[in-house]
A = this chain, B = another copy of it.
Amino acid sequence: MTIKPLLIKFKQNFRWFRVPLKQYKPDGTTFKDITRQTILDEDLPGLNFSPRYFEIKAGGYSSLEKHQHVHVVFVLRGKGRVLLGAEVKEVAPFDCLYIPPDTWHQFQPLGKKTLGLLCFVDKDRDRPQLPSADDLEELRQNEAVEKFIKA
Contacts and interface: CB of A to CB of B under 8 A. Distances in A.
A94 B122 contact: no
Nearest to A71: B5
A35 interface: no
Contacts of A5: 84-85, 87, 97-100, 103, 105
A107 B2 CA distance: 20
B4 A72 contact: no
Nearest to A76: B94
Contacts of A3: 100-103
Given A45-B100, A46-B70, A95 B7 contact: yes
Q: Which of A16, A46, A68, A105 has the most CB of B within 10 A?
A: A46
Nearest to A84: B5
Number of copies: 2
B2 A91 contact: no
Nearest to A41: B98
B93 A40 contact: no
A122 B48 contact: yes
Interface of A: 2-10, 14, 16, 39-40, 44-49, 51, 68-70, 72, 74, 76, 82, 84-85, 87, 89, 91-103, 105, 118, 120, 122
